[in-house]
Structure 1
Amino acid sequence: MQKELVLLHGWGMNAQVWQMVKPEIEQVFSGDVRSINLPGFGGAPSPKLDYTLETAAKLVAEQLQPESIIIGWSLGGLFALYLARNFPDKVSKVILIAATPYFNEVTQWPGIQSNVLDAFQVQLEKNATKTIERFLAIQAMGSEHAKEDIKSLRALLAQAPAPDPIALKAGLDILKTQDLRADMAMVEQPIYGLFGRLDSLVPKAVIEKIRGLNSNFHSKILPKASHAPFISHRSEFITFLKSVL
């Protein structure tokens, strides 16, 4: 049976973000292509217990066919790595898009400065909609078509229900605290990564560090892309996918 390709979105987003590029993915992949809403996003239910990466990833795992290929963008990349490590029968390959096993900046590990994520958490308590808008702006920052990228993302997001506030808060906590570096080192499936040189959330300096964790990891950097290369640089994204699928 042909493997299924599953697309996982990022924080504050929903499965609709893949809508523009999904037809092109289907042209280069002969199996089914499915975009899944992470728990609490796009109308999907949040975990009944506390919302953690573990409880949320379990809900995603229940929706996966055996040996799925997982494409995880941003927060979705953490889910993809966690699933590969903890549900290995469900995952045959991981493709990270602007994602890292640990988003937070610490000594000898480039990432997002803690105060940036802290500020997002404070703003989220005050106004979730504005916080997501600001996050959209940061994701497109550096892209040659930043305004168009934001407009596209905003329009796609509006096609699904707003996120559960619990999922928004928990998602930021996961981005800030979840360190999957040791897990990634133990993943036996092939791992590929596509990154944007201009990404302010995943600094290009971290890519070499990621490579040092796992010899099965292979990556490509798009020189003019930022945090959402599958939107800003669709043709390069598809070319990359063709080379790794």
Structure 2
Amino acid sequence: MSVSVERFGQGPDLVLLHGWGMNGAVWHGIVPSLAENYRVHLVDLPGFGNSPLADGVDYSLSWLAEQVAAVLPEKCHLLGWSLGGLVASQIVLNHPEHVASLITVASSPCFMARDEWPGIAPKVLTGFNQMLAGDFRQTIERFLAIQAMGSEHARDDIRQLRHWLAERPAPQLAALEAGLGLLADIDLRDELASLSLPWLRVYGRLDSLVPKAVIPLLDERYPASRSVTFNKASHAPFISHPTEFVEAIRYFVG
């Protein structure tokens, strides 16, 4: 299994992990700004973009984390968007000595709505699973629309994501199916309470996948972490508000 990494710039190492159905090209809009200060690493998660997935792999969160950890530079700043936030979190839990700081973007330690926990309605993920069985490209289009929903730049956001997504090979169905399973099943709320490294959590207030109601719950659960909310952003604040997003990363990482 070979994990593809694209690198830009010089400076402290900043690794970016994309979300479900996407690939590392989604960061291209902010790479020029980030590369002024950092050595930026764009990872294609296994089964997405230029990281082909072998047959018969147990696509668990722990397996994903180990595949990505193997290509990380020492003491990097690790940023994960959406599903990538779960992968980044698992890497930090497994290898805290390997990472200087954690940044999660539009992510939750528990994506699925549960008792007294806001999140994605189970019927939404079930619907995506059913759609995948028919036409996975149409499913990704639907997911792009949901990610941008609420953003004042929704059409532009979708157009940008679609453009960058098309720069690399289409995702593999097995990775898409397994990724939805992770979003439905993973709950890292208790494990992440043990984190001691610097942690920034970034949100869009209009996000329909990681609802704003989860932010104060995580503020209370992880008081040592910091949170930043973009009031007019949805699930992809780095697309809709690139300048402000990069400023927040620079302020946190230094």
TM-score normalised to the size of structure 1?
Answer: 0.96
Residue in structure 2 matched with residue 223 of structure 1 by the alignment: 231
Aligned with 2:251: secondary structure? Answer: helix
Displacement after TM superposition at 1:155 (Å): 0.6
RMSD: 1.3
Q: 2:69 aligns with which of 57, 61, 64?
A: 61
Q: Is the 8 A contact 2:29 2:242 kept in 1?
A: no
User: Match of 2:188?
Assistant: 180
Matched with 2:16 is 7
Using the alignment, how far apart are the partners of 1:2 and 1:243 within structure 2? 15
Decide which of 16, 30, 40 is 1:21's aligned counterpart: 30
Of the three residues 16, 33, 43, the one matched with 2:40 is 33
CA distance in 2 between counterparts of 1:194 and 1:43 reads 27
TM-superposed CA distance for 1:65, in Å, is 1.2
Q: Does 1:73 align with 2:98?
A: no
Task: For 1:87 and 1:3, locate their aligned partners in 2 and report how far apart those are by CA, in whole Å.
Answer: 18
Q: Is residue 240 from structure 1 mapped to residue 248 from structure 2 by the alignment?
A: yes
> Counterparts of 1:85-104 in structure 2 under 5 Å?
85-104=93-112
Which residue identity lines up with residue 51 of structure 2 in the other structure? A
Deviation at residue 177 of structure 1 after TM alignment? 0.5
1:35, 1:222 → 2: CA distance?
23
- Residue 5 of structure 2 is matched in structure 1 by none
Q: Deviations over 1:13-34 (max 9, x none)?
A: 000000111111122x3x3111
- 1:166-195 C-alpha deviation (Å, 9 max, x unpaired): 100000000111101112111121110111
- Report the counterpart of residue 117 of structure 1 in structure 2: 125
Query: What residue identity is the alignment partner of 1:10?
Result: G
Distance 2:248 2:141 in 1: 28
Alignment-derived partner of residue 192 in structure 1:
200
Contact 1:123 1:131 in 2 (8 A): yes
Structure-2 separation of matches of 1:2 and 1:228:
25
C-alpha separation in 1, matches of 2:205 and 2:173: 31
Is residue 184–residue 213 contact of structure 1 (8 Å, CA) maintained in 2? Answer: no
| TM, length-normalised to structure 2 | 0.92
User: Which residue matches 2:135?
Assistant: 127
**Identity percentage of aligned residues:** 46
Aligned length: 243
Displacement of 1:56 after TM fit? 1.3
Specify every segment of 5 or more residues in structure 2 that has no aligned partner in the other structure, as ranges: 1-9
Gaps in structure 1 of 5+ consecutive residues: none
Distance 1:38 1:216 in 2: 29
> What SS does the corresponding residue of 2:211 show, helix, strand or coil?
coil
Q: Would you identify which runs of 4 or more consecutive aligned residues in structure 1 move more than 6 Å?
A: none
Contact 1:46 1:56 in 2 (8 A): no
CA drift of 1:76 comes to: 0.4
Counterpart residue identity of residue 223, structure 1: N
Paired residue secondary structure (1:162): coil
